Amino acid sequence: MSYKIFTLSPGSTSTKLAVFDGEAQLFKASVTHDPAVLKTFTKVNEQLPYRLETIKTELDKAGVSLKDMDAFAAYSGGLASTPGGIFPVNAKIIEDCTSGRLFEHPAILGAQIIHAFGKETGKPAYLVNPPDVDEFEDVARISGIKGIYRESHVHVLNQKEVAIRAAKKLGKRYEECGLVVCHVGGGLSITAQKNGKIIDGNDVLNGDGPMAPNRSGNVPVMPVIKMCYSGTHTQEEMKNKVSKTGGLLGLLGTDDTREISSRIDKGDKWARLVYDAMAYQLGKQIGSYACVLRGKVDAVVLTGGVSNDRYFVDKVKDLVSWIAPVIVYGGDFEMEALASGAIRALSGEEPVKEYTGIPVWSGFDFEY
């Protein structure tokens, strides 16, 4: 049976929309929300009626009827840490999203929008592997500073989607595989996935892991401390160096890998060295995650926009292809992941889970 699924993902000033009939994408749009109007709202949740109106206007123009959908699925944050899976939108999800107690970002509107559509049509609404997924093993959480623990902040939705695809390509079930998955976009997340769970990964939000197009990744800590207390940088500037203006952007003045590749082709030695260093750092981390999986790696999977760059992919393959076959899914499969998750729920292929709001991890109760 073919199911028709409506998917969406809210961003700061736009909302991505798509409609799928099975695996076939029937409609795709990015609705822009007027920044001047958004500024009139003091809290993100106040944007909900406005976003609903602009989304419905776009759908009416495109001749898309919500009544024709079998289910709705959204990217939506603002939840307590939770295992991966598919979650019907329930009262606790709406409570956590509307309160904004854990997260204040337009992503908290995803669940609320599809909840409204579900109520209007009588069709189910699902969250699929939300960004708050945390399946880390306890040993992966420890850092060398008491009170600072490593948290699960990775591109969960795309990470899990390409892992499921890779498992299928290998002729296995996702729950049977050991995979090292690398999402290489503006940010870079790398995970060790074992038996259907992300058991370790770099904390993208807090500067962990290899450098990325606009993020610093791991750097020696002492020089950073000195820079922080030098009196020449504000806290905001230092945070930006880690999360917005580091990596390729900070070293080369651009995070556009097409421009960097062009500079390399023209003989720019510094551009080549820096770009090679990003691939080198990723390769080192892949090797460490192969250790996490005790060497039982069915595949190394590359995804994200930079994975479309053959030069970069070849550099990574040269470093890690001895570990396992390298499977490449260039680009981002966020909307496809939402649709396929909803279809697995509707078909009974994957049991749905109940969101409780109880975090899977909130510290060690046996800490000294």
Q: Residue ranges of the alpha helices (H) in the chain?
A: 35-38, 48-62, 91-99, 109-121, 156-169, 221-228, 235-243, 247-252, 257-265, 269-292, 310-320, 334-347
100 within 8 A of 45, measured Cβ to Cβ: yes
Q: Is the pTM of this model over 0.85?
A: yes
Integer CA distances (angstroms), 90 to 48, 64, 115, 307, in order: 18, 26, 8, 36
Distance separating alpha carbons of residues 72 and 305, to the nearest angstrom: 26
For residue 103, pLDDT beyond 80: no
For residue 360, pLDDT beyond 90: yes
CB-count exposure of residue 189 (10 Å: 0-12, 13-18, 19+): buried
Distance separating alpha carbons of residues 108 and 105, to the nearest angstrom: 6
Q: Taking the alpha carbons of 262, 263, 266, 272 in that order, is the dihedral positive or negative?
A: negative
The structural domains of the chain, with segments of one domain joined by +, span: 4-133+335-347, 169-332
Q: What are the beta bridge partners of residue 73?
A: 7, 126
Which residues lie closer than 8 Å to 79 by C-beta, 6 or more apart?
93, 96, 97, 102, 103, 127, 130, 132, 355, 357
326 within 8 A of 317, measured Cβ to Cβ: yes
For residue 367, pLDDT beyond 90: no
Q: What are the beta bridge partners of residue 301?
A: 181, 327
Give the DSSP letter of residue 67.
G
For residue 100, pLDDT beyond 90: no
Q: Do domains 4-133+335-347 and 169-332 have the same CATH topology?
A: yes
Q: Which two tokens stand for residue 130?
A: 């939300």
**Closest among 176, 213, 202 to 288, alpha carbons compared:** 202
Question: Residues 331-347: what's their mean pLDDT?
Answer: 97
Q: Taking the CB of residue 259, how many other CB atoms lie within 10 A of it?
A: 14
**pLDDT digits 0-9 by tens, 66-82:** 999 999 999 999 999 99
- For residue 19, which amino acid is it? V
Question: Residues 356-363: what's their mean pLDDT?
Answer: 94
pLDDT for res 13 = 93
Confidence of residue 21 (pLDDT cuts 50, 70, 90): very high
Fold of the CATH domain 4-133+335-347: Nucleotidyltransferase; domain 5 (3.30.420)
Q: Taking the CB of residue 166, how many other CB atoms lie within 10 A of it?
A: 24
For residue 110, pLDDT beyond 90: yes
**pLDDT digits 0-9 by tens, 343-353:** 999 999 999 99
pLDDT for res 263 = 98
**pLDDT digits 0-9 by tens, 234-279:** 999 999 999 999 999 999 999 999 999 999 999 999 999 999 999 9
Q: Which residue has the tokens 């945390």?
A: 134
Which residues lie closer than 8 Å to 43 by C-beta, 6 or more apart?
100, 104
**pLDDT digits 0-9 by tens, 170-226:** 999 999 999 999 999 989 999 999 999 999 999 998 999 999 999 999 999 999 999
Count the residues in the chain: 368
* CATH architecture of the domain with range 169-332: 2-Layer Sandwich (3.30)
For residue 101, pLDDT beyond 90: no
